[in-house]
Amino acid sequence: MKPLDEMNPEEIRLEIAERKGIQPHLEPRYSEGYTDDGTDGWDGWFCPHCNTPESLYSTTPCCPNWPEDIAAAWELVDEINDSGFLVIVKSWQVGHSKYVADADCGVHLLNASDGNCWETATTAPIAICKAWLSWNRSEDK
Ligand SMILES: [Zn+2]
């Protein structure tokens, strides 16, 4: 497994999707539309579940964009929470932490029996994703 600190947001998203067993896109459906003033139109084949164009099926999973969508990322927090961890999401001004100088959000997982984990990133959703992966990977053992 690739170390979390070396993964880009898309790699993080794909691993979360894989670990959640998220299914491939649905059979594409044709749709078309126009801008409000009717001057410009678009059409194509899209996934009815997530609206991803069929041409991007091979590179985009049918799932939320956890690393960029805080609402989706927060569902990961709930999931970790429900497993018995206390999840602490912290942010601070860059350079103010003596632990990490280049990060501005951290997520701390605390659990009396399993120890804890501390992940950081430049945005809250990415820090949450890394904490979720760290938690989920540790469940493999
Ligand atoms: Zn889809």
pLDDT at position 141 over 70: no
Whether this prediction's pTM lies above 0.75 is answered by no
pLDDT at position 112 over 70: no
Mean pLDDT of 51-62: 87
CATH homologous superfamily of 64-139 equals: Bacillus phage protein-like (3.30.2120.10)
Q: How far, in Å, is the centroid of ligand 1 from the Cα of 63?
A: 7
Q: How far, in Å, is the centroid of ligand 1 from the Cα of 65?
A: 12
pLDDT of residue 93: 58
pLDDT in tens, 32-41: 888 788 778 8
Give the model's confidence band at 8: pLDDT under 50 very low, under 70 low, under 90 confident, else very high: very high
Do residues 43 and 37 make contact, with C-beta atoms less than 8 angstroms apart?
A: no
pLDDT at position 47 over 80: yes
What residue ranges do the domains of the chain occupy? 25-63, 64-139
Q: How far, in Å, is the centroid of ligand 1 from the Cα of 23?
A: 8
Rounded CA-CA distance 4/91 in Å is 19
